[in-house]
Chain A
Amino acid sequence: MERKLLPLAAALYLGLSACGGGGGGDNGGGSPAPAPGWVAGVFRPSTEFDALCVTPRTGIDPFTGVPFLDRTGTRTDQNNWLRSWTNELYLWYREVPDLNPANFGTPEYFDLMMTPATTPSGRPKDNFHDSLSTAEWFALSQSGVSAGYGVQWMILAQTPPRRLVAAYTEPNSPATQAGILRGAEVLMVDGADLVNGNGQAVVDTLNAGLFPSAAGQNHSFQVRDPGGTVRSFSMQSANVASTPVQNVTVLPTPTGPVGYFLFNDHIATSEAQLIAAINQLIAASVTDLVLDVRYNGGGFLDIASELAFMIAGPGRTSGQTFERLTFNDKHTVRDPVTDELLVPVPFHQATRGFSPGLPPGQPLPTLQLSRVFVITGPGTCSASESIMNSLRGVNVAVIQIGSTTCGKPYGFYPTDNCGTTYFSIQFSGVNALNFGDYPDGFSPANTVSTPGVLVPGCSIADDFSRALGDPLEGRLAQALNYRANSSCSVGPSGFAPGKHAVPDEEGELPRSVWRESKILRK
């Protein structure tokens, strides 16, 4: 979908006006000051406080391409902006406590500008309230390229005795050159004991070695390979291009060939790779598809829509809603950020031109399936969940194999003020049946213990003993078994994902160096 932002109305306002918002005279510290004009339940427009900063920035604003419009303001101004902006755009603004902005630091105040409600499972209703320095958020990258070794680590235990294994690797990367296979368990990094090492210095060494911040860094590793062999080697980090669609495989069965592929990220380059995968499976006349999104945290929603169409075909999707975005009740007609009319996202039947060199408007191939097997885990999030929900909305049978998804039927427009970019939930997405209520995720039907929305299928832990795409890998084997027998060959199991839960054999995806202090712990 094409979306344009409101045309700099706020910037012009600031450019032409010398007015500022009300607020105290505090400059970021000291005792709470009264906030002139603050009245509980009364909200002035956030534009009155926009870019009034304790520390105004100078230079070019990456959001606008023109010099920063920051002016000297106060901590209370910053908090007033958060308060009004939240009241204007936050999906559950009615549930946010109205607190005196003069009484809090800005990060602390933002943390309070969210609903305190919990989901039926007991976890926070808003599990995604977050912020990041704008300089970090505005870092650019070639699609799918990041500094590292080209291995996705999976933390199975964050504290001693720690466990960290390789979930998958990128082709032609330092990791594949070092022979790292799925399931390889890291024992030592630069001489630090990953399993039992204690102390901050050890943790810092582990994080620095596992998650290099730039290309060209050399680190030594000791790993136990899946076969049990312990070996040592060094790797040098590089700017590695990920391959978001991998292991496209046709699995012969007595009842016809079954297609499988691993889809890890809705990045721009995935568009062409998904089309190639679907074409390959069409050529093999597959009668079913196992879509593996266990590590896919989402990305471009348009790509999710394209894939859903390529699975279901035009018969089930023409004229139907892939996902309809719903903002809070102040914004029922137009998107409050882009000012565009709120119209449903359709199932895209043609390319959007995201991938390099792939023109928009090319008809998409389609498998025209009436059912799909989807392999999931707690890393299955957002746009990946939209694929499941949208297909269920047009009566495509979704059979879920694995564990409960993350539960994020929400989204937001990241928004900067005073050098911090805020991620505050602004919309939810519903399918053609107007359903989008899965804050505890989707769970296979035989999941025990506070599951999300139950979907036919089987709960089974991740299996690091086999390669992804191997028909004997636990989850893929279970999908094939369910296809053959319409039942699970494993007993009920499972759990609901907690914010920091790291269940055994399920794991957490530590992908960001920005979060590295939280990756491995003492």
Chain B
Amino acid sequence: MRASARSPSAYAPLAPVVMSLLVGCRAPAPAMDDSPGSEQLAVLVSPTAETRAELEQLIAAALNGTAITLEEHAFVRTSYVVIERGAQARDPSGNRTQGRELGRPDHFKLVTQQSRCTLVHDDSGKRWRLTKATCQPAT
């Protein structure tokens, strides 16, 4: 039984154990950026379709998502994006399928240091350097 009340990060404590059983089976992980240094919250500058695709790919990979819908201006006006799962699903009566959600959403933020753009998953602390984006410090 695998319940989806929380993000996959809830499974983090045992992930290494499972991985040791299944080593070699996992898909390649995106390039990680693990050098926080002195950095600032950031927003995107003139994002392109490639920028958007990279962000979607990284976030979906971070959460093992099957598909992702981001606002066209995600990370343009603010440094934060919150991701929810199953929020659009409705029951046959048209009401929210998960009307009593006990979990939490996943939070991502964009930071910059020396013109580098880095995507950070707040809940796990994982970081990915963006290669298709230009950032500037958020005002």
Q: Contact between B27 and A414 (Cβ–Cβ < 8 Å)?
A: no
The chain A residue with its CB closest to the CB of B27 is A60
Q: Provide the bound-state CA to CA distance between A357 and B109, in Å.
A: 9
Q: What are 15 pairs between A and B in contact, CB < 8 Å? A: A5-B3, A5-B11, A65-B11, A67-B22, A130-B92, A141-B88, A239-B72, A297-B96, A337-B3, A354-B82, A383-B99, A410-B100, A413-B5, A414-B4, A510-B90
- The answer to whether A140 and B89 touch (CB under 8 A), given A62-B8, A65-B15, A145-B70, is no
Would you call B65 an interface residue if the criterion is a C-beta within 8 Å of the partner chain's C-beta atoms? yes
CB contacts (< 8 Å) of B5 on chain A: these are 3, 5, 337-338, 413-414
Q: Provide the bound-state CA to CA distance between A239 and B10, in Å.
A: 29
The chain B residue with its CB closest to the CB of A518 is B92
Residue in A67, A140, A500 whose CB lies within 8 Å of B68: A140
Would you call A406 an interface residue if the criterion is a C-beta within 8 Å of the partner chain's C-beta atoms? yes
Q: Contact between B69 and A147 (Cβ–Cβ < 8 Å)?
A: yes
Q: Provide the bound-state CA to CA distance between A67 and B105, in Å.
A: 23
Closest 6 CB pairs of A and B: A382-B99, A298-B99, A411-B100, A356-B80, A297-B96, A512-B90
Write the A116-148 contact mask toward B (1 if CB under 8 angstroms, else 0).
Answer: 000000000001101010011111111111110
Interface size range of chain B in the complex: 35 or more
Would you call B33 an interface residue if the criterion is a C-beta within 8 Å of the partner chain's C-beta atoms? no
Q: Contact between A141 and B100 (Cβ–Cβ < 8 Å)?
A: no
Q: Kindly identify, within residues 303 to 358 of chain A, every residue whose CB is under 8 Å from any CB belonging to chain B.
A: 337-338, 352-357
Would you call A16 an interface residue if the criterion is a C-beta within 8 Å of the partner chain's C-beta atoms? yes
The chain A residue with its CB closest to the CB of B70 is A142
Would you call B48 an interface residue if the criterion is a C-beta within 8 Å of the partner chain's C-beta atoms? no
The chain B residue with its CB closest to the CB of A64 is B11
A residues engaging B (CB < 8 A)?
1-5, 7-8, 10-12, 15-16, 46-47, 50, 59-67, 85, 127-128, 130, 132, 135-147, 215, 238-241, 265-269, 297-302, 337-338, 352-357, 378-379, 381-384, 386, 406, 408, 410-411, 413-417, 421, 423, 429, 497, 499-500, 508-512, 514-515, 518
B residues engaging A (CB < 8 A)?
1-6, 8, 10-11, 13-15, 17-19, 21-22, 25-27, 59-60, 63-72, 74, 78-105, 107, 109
Q: Contact between A12 and B17 (Cβ–Cβ < 8 Å)?
A: yes
Q: Contact between B14 and A12 (Cβ–Cβ < 8 Å)?
A: yes
Residue in B8, B90, B105 whose CB lies within 8 Å of A64: B8
CB contacts (< 8 Å) of A137 on chain B: these are 4, 85-86, 89
Q: Contact between A142 and B2 (Cβ–Cβ < 8 Å)?
A: no
CB contacts (< 8 Å) of B6 on chain A: these are 3-5
- The answer to whether A499 and B84 touch (CB under 8 A), given A16-B21, A62-B65, A413-B4, is no
Q: Contact between A511 and B88 (Cβ–Cβ < 8 Å)?
A: yes
Q: Contact between A301 and B101 (Cβ–Cβ < 8 Å)?
A: yes
Q: Provide the bound-state CA to CA distance between A18 and B82, in Å.
A: 39
Q: Contact between A239 and B85 (Cβ–Cβ < 8 Å)?
A: no
Q: Contact between B82 and A379 (Cβ–Cβ < 8 Å)?
A: no
Q: Provide the bound-state CA to CA distance between A432 and B9, in Å.
A: 32
Residue in A2, A62, A356 whose CB lies within 8 Å of B66: A62
Residue in B65, B72, B100, B105 whose CB lies within 8 Å of A386: B100
